[in-house]
């Protein structure tokens, strides 16, 4: 039995992954955004070991999510599943002054990675849209560039996959990998999305607890349990260091080396 934390587990792929893990006998802690969602997920996820709450758009609440997680003891795996899409026509700024899509899709996984006791496995749920990312580390927060919602989303997912690869390099004792679920019909992606929702969570679970030797790797990128080639920039160690430095500046938290 493995102990697994899943962010964004109240619906969609996170809920599906949590149900699959519970059905297989694993101990799941579900993260949700609010107390109201905690009540909802308690009904949807009978058998969950625990539910923790916090809005990942908010820095202090994200720090508190890490605190709640650490009080429960070390996890075997953390699945960074929570995310938002590219449907913000105007830049939304969080209370901390960060672009909303950056805060949830990239800064929150960074904070949780840095602050939660190091697990054996880390899974980062990204998107094929990262291939269109540029992630200008001089203006990661879109403070000087004209806002482009689709580009901001692509950039946030490139930052996330770059984080996964940087962690794999810096923490060689951890299996840190990224995966994309495909364009599946969830609330975030839209219910007309063409990919198979029933397969979207499978790779998350496989990377988190699977005994397949193909999952016992680090610094890789997967789609439906098959290794894929990411944007080469994500493997560039200098770029990884620049991304970490930028996120450390935006969050005032340093990733332990």
Q: Give yes or no: 153 in active site.
A: yes
Task: Name the active-site residue from 157, 191, 221, 245.
Answer: 157
154 near 140, Cβ under 8 Å?
Answer: no
Distance CA 67, CA 192 (A): 37
- Looking at the DSSP bridge assignments, the partners of residue 179 are 125, 222
126 near 180, Cβ under 8 Å?
Answer: yes
Residue with tokens 């758009």: 57
**Cβ contacts of residue 81 below 8 Å, gap of 6+?**
6, 7, 8, 9, 13, 14, 17, 123, 125, 204
Distance CA 176, CA 196 (A): 25
**Cβ contacts of residue 67 below 8 Å, gap of 6+?**
115
128 near 221, Cβ under 8 Å?
Answer: no
**Cβ contacts of residue 93 below 8 Å, gap of 6+?**
99, 100
Considering only CA atoms, give the Rg of the chain. Answer: 17
Task: Name the active-site residue from 91, 153, 187, 191.
Answer: 153
Q: Give yes or no: 245 in active site.
A: no
* Exposure letters 11-30 (e unless 16+ CB within 10 A, then b): bbbbbbbbbbbbeeebbbbb
Catalytic residues: 153, 157
């Amino acid at each position: 039995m493995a102990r697994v934390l899943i962010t964004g587990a109240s619906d969609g792929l996170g809920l599906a992954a949590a149900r699959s893990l519970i059905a297989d006998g694993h101990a799941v802690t579900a993260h949700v955004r609010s107390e109201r969602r905690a009540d909802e997920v308690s009904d949807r996820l009978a058998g969950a070991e625990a539910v923790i709450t916090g809005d990942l758009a908010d820095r202090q609440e994200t720090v508190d999510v890490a605190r709640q997680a650490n009080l429960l003891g070390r996890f075997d795996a953390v699945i960074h599943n929570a995310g938002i899409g590219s449907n913000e026509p105007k830049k939304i700024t969080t209370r901390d002054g960060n672009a909303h899509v950056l805060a949830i899709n990239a800064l929150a996984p960074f904070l949780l990675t840095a602050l939660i006791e190091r697990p054996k496995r880390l899974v980062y749920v990204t998107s094929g849209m990262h291939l269109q990312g540029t992630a200008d580390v001089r203006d990661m927060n879109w403070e000087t560039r004209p806002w482009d919602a689709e580009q901001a989303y692509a950039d946030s997912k490139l930052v996330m996959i770059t984080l996964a690869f940087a962690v794999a390099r810096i923490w060689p004792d951890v299996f840190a990998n990224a995966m994309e679920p495909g364009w599946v019909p969830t609330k975030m992606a839209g219910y007309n999305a063409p990919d198979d929702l029933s397969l979207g969570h499978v790779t998350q679970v496989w990377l988190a607890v699977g005994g397949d030797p193909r999952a016992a790797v680090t610094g890789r990128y997967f789609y439906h349990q098959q290794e894929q080639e990411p944007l080469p920039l994500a493997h560039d160690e200098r770029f990884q260091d620049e991304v970490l430095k930028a996120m450390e500046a935006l969050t005032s938290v340093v990733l332990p080396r």
